[in-house]
Amino acid sequence: MGQASAIRKRLNTMKKLLAILLLFYLPSQGKTSPIEGNTKEQKGVLFGAYMDFGETEDAVTLEGIEDFEKLAGKRPAIIASSSYWGEQTFPKKNLALIDRHGATPLIFWSPWDKPYDQNKGPDRFSLREILSGKWDAYIDAWGDGAKEFGKPFLVSFCNEMNGDWFPWSGCFYGAKKGGNEVFKRAWRYVIDRVRARGASNIRWVFHVNAFPAENDMWNMMAAYYPGPNYVDWLGLSVYGKQFRKSDDWAEFRPLLDWPYKELTAIDPVKPVMIAEFGVGDFPKLGSKAEWIKDALSMIPEYPRIKAAVYWHERWQNQDGSFSNIRINSSPSVLKAFREGISHPLWIPSKKENDQR
C-alpha cells in the first residue's frame, strides 16, 4: 500500500507539471487573434467598431470602449482607430490597450497633415514625397514600433483612394494620366519598407470606397490593386446618407451588392472586410433603424465578408449641420442595432464573458 501510494503521488505531481507546461507552451485559443485563423472555415462575421475617438481618431480610452460596449450589448472583436502621419508617432499605447481588452486593433494609417481638412489635395506627405524617400525615417520607425508590438493587427493604409476627399486619392496624381499607378508604387514602397523592419505581424487592408468619385476605368477598384503579395484583406467603406445637403437616401442592399462583386473580382481568395459602414439620421427621407436592421441581417449573407466595422461617430460639418451615425442617435436606432448585433453570426471578442 505504501509503494502504491507513493506511485500515485508521483503521478499526480507529474500531471500537475504537465498541466503547467501545457499552459505555458501551447497556444491559448483565447489569445489567438481572430484574424489569424482560417477565415474560409469561419462561420459568421467579426464584429468591429470605431468609437468616436476624437478629432484625430486616436484618443482611445478604456472608458470609451466600455461605454460603446454597454450600448451595443456585445464586445467588438475588432476596434478601429487612426494614426495620422501629421502626429509623427506610432500608436503603441492604443494597440496595447485594445489588445489587453481582448480585441484586434485596426489602424487607419493615413499620410495626412494637420489640420486634417478634406478636399484640399496633397500636403507635405504627398505620395510623390513618400516615393522620393523624404519620409523613410518615419516609415521605418513606424515599422519598428509594429515589430515591437509583436501581435497581429490590421492596417488600412491610404483608405478610399478612389474618392476625391483624401490627399492620397488618385485624382490628385494625374487621374486618368496615371494617378492610380502613383498610388500603387507608393503602396508597395511603404509596405516593403515596413516589412524590411521585420513587422511581419501586420495584416494589410486594401480599403476602397464602395463607389468611386469619378466613374471611369482608371478609378475602378482593380486599377489601384497593388497585387496579392501586398494585401491580406480586401476592405470596403459602405455608407448611407451622411450629409444634409448631398446624397439621396439609399437602402443598404444596393450600396453593398455591386461593390462587393467588383471587389471580390479583384482576388478570388482574400477575405473581405467592411472596414467602415454607417448611416445618418434623416427621418423625413428614410429610416435609420431599418437601414441598420437590414445591414446587420444582410452582411452575413455575403460569404467572403469575414469582418465588419461600424463607424460610431457624430461630427459638425462646415455648414453648421451635424452628421450623426452613432448607434444611439435615437431609441429606435439603438434597439435595431442591439437586436441585430446580438445574432450569433456576429462574432464578438473572445473575452465576451459577461451579460450586458
What is the pLDDT, as a whole number, of residue 312?
97
Q: What is the pLDDT of residues 250-303, one digit of tens each?
A: 999 999 999 999 999 999 999 999 999 999 999 899 999 999 999 999 999 999
Evaluate whether 273 touches 306 at the Cβ level (below 8 Å).
yes
165 Cβ neighbours under 8 A, 6+ residues apart: 118, 119, 213
Q: How many domains does the chain have?
A: 1
22 Cβ neighbours under 8 A, 6+ residues apart: none
Q: Is 16 exposed, middle or buried (0-12, 13-18, 19+ CB in 10 A)?
A: exposed
Band of pLDDT at residue 98, cut at 50, 70 and 90 = very high
What is the pLDDT, as a whole number, of residue 321?
81
- What whole-number distance in Å separates Cα of residue 97 and Cα of residue 214? 39
Look at residue 354 and tell me if it is in a domain. no
CATH number at 165 reads: 3.20.20.80
What would the 3-class secondary structure string for 125-140 be?
A: CCHHHHHCCCCHHHHH
Look at residue 45 and tell me whether its pLDDT is greater than 80: yes
Q: What is the mean pLDDT of residues 93-121?
A: 96
User: Which tops the pLDDT comparison, 123 or 5?
Assistant: 123
Query: Which structural domain, as residue segments, surrounds residue 138?
Result: 45-347
Look at residue 219 and tell me whether its pLDDT is greater than 70: yes
What is the phi/psi pair of residue 48, to 5°? -130, 160
**What stretches of 202-283 adopt beta strand conformation (E)?**
202-209, 233-239, 272-278
Look at residue 153 and tell me if it is in a domain. yes
Look at residue 23 and tell me if it is in a domain. no
Q: What is the mean pLDDT of residues 304-330?
A: 91
State the sign of the Cα–Cα–Cα–Cα dihedral 138, 81, 57, 123.
positive
pTM for this predicted structure: 0.89
What is the pLDDT, as a whole number, of residue 352?
55
What is the pLDDT, as a whole number, of residue 37?
65
Q: What is the mean pLDDT of residues 175-204?
A: 98
- What whole-number distance in Å separates Cα of residue 156 and Cα of residue 169? 14
Look at residue 117 and tell me whether its pLDDT is greater than 60: yes
Q: Which residues face 81 on adjacent strands?
A: 107
Look at residue 103 and tell me if it is in a domain. yes
Q: What is the mean pLDDT of residues 183-206?
A: 98
Look at residue 33 and tell me whether its pLDDT is greater than 60: yes
Q: Is 91 exposed, middle or buried (0-12, 13-18, 19+ CB in 10 A)?
A: buried
Tell me the CA end-to-end span of the chain in Å, nearest whole number. 54
Band of pLDDT at residue 13, cut at 50, 70 and 90 = low
Cis link prior to 115 (omega < 30° from 0)?
A: yes
Look at residue 15 and tell me if it is in a domain. no
Look at residue 141 and tell me if it is in a domain. yes
For the chain, percent helix, then strand, then coil, each to nearest 5?
A: 40, 20, 40
What is the pLDDT, as a whole number, of residue 2?
53
Look at residue 35 and tell me if it is in a domain. no
Look at residue 12 and tell me if it is in a domain. no
Report the percentage of the chain scoring pLDDT > 70: 89
Q: What is the pLDDT of residues 330-346, one digit of tens each?
A: 999 999 999 999 999 99
